[in-house]
Amino acid sequence: MKPDTRVAIVTASYDVEETDLPFGKRWGQQRITLTAEHLEALRTGQLLALDVLDEYVVLVGLDKSDDREKRPKLSDKRFRRLREEGRP
């Protein structure tokens, strides 16, 4: 599957006024932080509607085409423990 060039994983926030990376010149930015509840919604097939700069809406969904066999099963003790601790 060809990677989506509209999505980049970065290690830190950056100032769009100071740098062109990763998408070239942009004129605004907004940081959105997802919670465990948001991640769980994505895992269950729901979409997240994100308000961007009070002007745009971005819909975020989870690509489920990855290898599902590598994911923990609901019966996996480690998975249950993480969920009990409130972690995704």
Q: Would you kindly state where each structural domain of the chain is located, as residue ranges?
A: 36-84
**Per-residue pLDDT tens for 19-63?**
777 778 888 888 899 999 999 999 999 999 999 888 999 999 998
Burial bucket for residue 88 (CB in 10 Å: 0-12, 13-18, 19+): middle
pLDDT band at 82 (very low <50, low <70, confident <90, very high): low
Answer whether 61's CB lies under 8 Å from 47's CB. yes
* pLDDT score of 7: 83
pTM above 0.75, yes or no: no
